[in-house]
C-alpha cells in the first residue's frame, strides 16, 4: 500500500460519505446548498491525509488486515480535522487555508454576493462555526458506520473520545498561551504535545491498533514512536510557519508571526535572546498589521537568538527516538517500514 494509493482510497471514502451525508440537506432547504458544497470542497481539497495514514498503519502494525471498512474509519479523522481547522481559522481570523480562502471567508463572500444585510464577516464566522460542528458530527457518523464490527468499535471508542477531547483542550491551551504572551518552552512543548503529537500521531495509531483489538504493550510501543515523531512534526511545522515557502505551507508568509503564535521556536527565542531582541519580539509578534519588513525583522531576530538550531536539535532527537521505537518486535515489519516513511515525510527529512 503506497502512500499515494492510501491517500486515494481515503479520498474515495470521504467523497462517498459526503455524497451520502450532504444529500438529505437538499430535502430540508435549498438554502443549505452552500453549506454542503463548502464542506465538500474544503474536505476534498488537499490535506496530506496524515492522520488516516497513521490510523491505517497503526491497525496493520497491530496485525490487523487491510479492509475498506478500516479505510473509512481512518478517513473519519479528516472530518474531525476539518472541524478543528475551520474553527481554528475563525479563532485566528485567518484569511487562507490550504492556499484557498478560509471557510469563514468563503461564507463572507457569499453574503456579499447575495447582498444580504448585516456584517459579512459575522455571517461568515457564524456559518463556519456551524459547518465545523457539522464536520465534528459527521466524523462520528463515518467512524461509527465505517463497517468495522461493533465489538472492535466498542474497544476503540474510549480512544476516539480521548482524542477528540484532547484536541479541543490542546487548542484551548494554545489560545491561552497566546493570550499570556508565551515565553515558557515547557508550556509551548505541552501545547505541541496535545494539539499535535497526541492528536495527529499517537491517537490515530492507537485508534487503528484498537480497531484490531490491540491493548497494553503494543499501544505503548506505538506511543514510543508516535509521541516523539508527533512533536517533531509540530516543531517542523512551527519552523515552516516562520521560514517556509507559502507555496508549500498554503499560508501567506509571516501569518504565524502576525497571529503571534507562541511556539517552541518563539519560546526559545524569548528565552535565549538579548534584552533588545526580546523587546523586538514582544513588540512585533502578534501585530496584525505586520508588513513584509516586519516579517523579515522578526525572522532575523529569531535566527540571531539561535532558536532555529535548538529546534532542529529537538527535531533530530525526537526523530531518532522514534526510529528506534520502530525496531520493537511487537510491530508488524511492513507497518514499521511504512511508519518510517511517514515519519520522514512528516518531519521533512531525507531518509
Site for a copy of itself in 239-298 (CB under 8 A): 260, 286
Query: Does residue 69 belong to the site contacting a copy of itself (CB under 8 A)?
Result: no
Segment contacting a copy of itself (CB under 8 A): 19-27, 70-78, 222-230, 342-350? Answer: 19-27
C-alpha 114/C-alpha 117 separation (Å) is: 9
At 88, list the grid cell. Answer: 481554528
Q: Is 101 helix (H, G, I), strand (E, B) or coil?
A: strand
From 17, 194, 233, 319, residue interacting with a copy of itself (rule: CB under 8 A): 194
Least gap, CB of 275 to a copy of itself (angstroms): 19
Segment contacting a copy of itself (CB under 8 A): 44-52, 68-76, 139-147, 293-301? Answer: 139-147
Query: Does residue 82 belong to the site contacting a copy of itself (CB under 8 A)?
Result: no
From 20, 137, 220, 327, residue interacting with a copy of itself (rule: CB under 8 A): 137
DSSP state of 96: E
C-alpha 269/C-alpha 262 separation (Å) is: 11
C-alpha 88/C-alpha 98 separation (Å) is: 13
Query: Does residue 168 belong to the site contacting a copy of itself (CB under 8 A)?
Result: yes
Give buried/exposed letters for 24-49 (b at 16+ CB in 10 A, else e). Answer: ebeeeeeeeebbbebbbebbeeebeb
Residues facing residue 97 across a β-bridge: 100
Segment contacting a copy of itself (CB under 8 A): 3-11, 174-182, 237-245, 305-313? Answer: 174-182
Which has the closest alpha carbon to 43: 107, 138, 124, 110? 138
**Could you tell me the sign of the dihedral formed by the alpha carbons of 59, 20, 14, 230, in that order?**
negative
Give the interface with a copy of itself as residue ranges (CB under 8 A): 21, 24-25, 28-29, 31-32, 35, 83, 87, 90-91, 93, 111, 114, 116-118, 122-123, 125-127, 129-134, 136-138, 140-141, 144, 150, 154, 157, 161-162, 164-166, 168-169, 171-173, 175-176, 178-181, 190, 194, 260, 286
Amino acid at each position: 500500500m503506497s502512500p499515494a494509493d492510501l491517500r486515494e482510497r481515503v479520498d474515495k471514502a470521504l467523497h462517498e460519505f459526503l455524497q451520502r451525508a450532504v444529500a438529505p440537506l437538499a430535502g430540508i432547504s435549498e438554502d443549505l446548498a452552500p453549506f454542503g458544497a463548502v464542506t465538500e470542497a474544503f474536505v476534498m481539497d488537499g490535506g496530506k491525509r496524515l492522520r488516516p495514514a497513521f490510523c491505517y498503519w497503526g491497525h496493520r502494525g497491530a496485525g490487523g488486515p487491510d479492509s475498506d471498512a478500516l479505510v473509512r474509519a481512518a478517513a473519519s479523522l479528516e472530518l474531525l480535522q476539518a472541524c478543528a481547522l475551520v474553527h481554528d481559522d475563525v479563532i485566528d481570523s485567518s484569511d487562507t487555508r490550504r492556499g484557498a480562502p478560509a471557510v469563514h471567508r468563503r461564507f463572507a463572500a457569499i453574503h456579499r454576493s447575495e447582498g444580504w444585510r448585516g456584517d459579512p464577516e459575522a455571517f461568515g464566522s457564524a456559518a463556519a462555526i456551524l459547518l465545523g460542528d457539522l464536520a465534528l458530527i459527521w466524523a462520528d457518523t463515518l467512524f461509527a458506520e465505517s463497517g468495522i464490527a461493533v465489538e472492535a468499535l466498542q474497544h476503540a471508542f474510549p480512544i476516539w473520545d480521548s482524542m477528540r477531547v484532547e484536541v479541543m483542550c490542546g487548542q484551548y491551551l494554545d489560545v491561552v498561551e497566546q493570550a499570556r504572551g508565551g515565553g515558557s518552552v515547557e508550556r509551548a512543548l505541552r501545547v505541541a504535545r496535545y494539539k499535535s503529537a497526541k492528536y495527529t500521531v499517537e491517537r490515530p495509531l492507537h485508534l487503528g491498533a484498537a480497531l484490531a483489538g490491540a491493548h497494553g504493550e503494543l499501544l505503548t510501543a506505538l506511543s514510543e514512536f508516535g509521541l516523539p515523531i508527533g512533536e517533531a512534526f509540530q516543531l517542523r511545522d512551527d519552523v515552516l510557519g516562520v521560514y517556509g515557502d507559502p507555496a508549500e505551507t498554503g499560508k501567506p508568509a509571516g501569518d504565524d508571526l502576525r497571529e503571534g503564535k507562541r511556539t517552541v521556536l518563539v519560546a526559545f527565542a524569548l528565552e535565549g535572546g538579548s534584552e533588545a531582541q526580546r523587546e523586538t519580539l514582544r513588540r512585533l509578534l502578534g501585530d496584525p498589521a505586520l508588513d513584509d519588513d516586519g516579517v523579515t525583522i522578526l525572522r532575523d531576530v529569531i535566527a540571531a537568538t539561535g532558536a532555529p538550531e535548538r529546534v532542529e536539535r529537538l527535531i533530530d532527537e525526537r526523530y531518532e527516538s522514534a526510529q528506534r521505537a520502530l525496531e520493537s518486535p511487537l510491530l508488524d515489519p511492513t507497518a514499521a517500514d511504512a511508519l518510517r516513511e511517514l515519519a520522514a515525510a512528516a518531519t521533512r527529512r531525507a531518509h
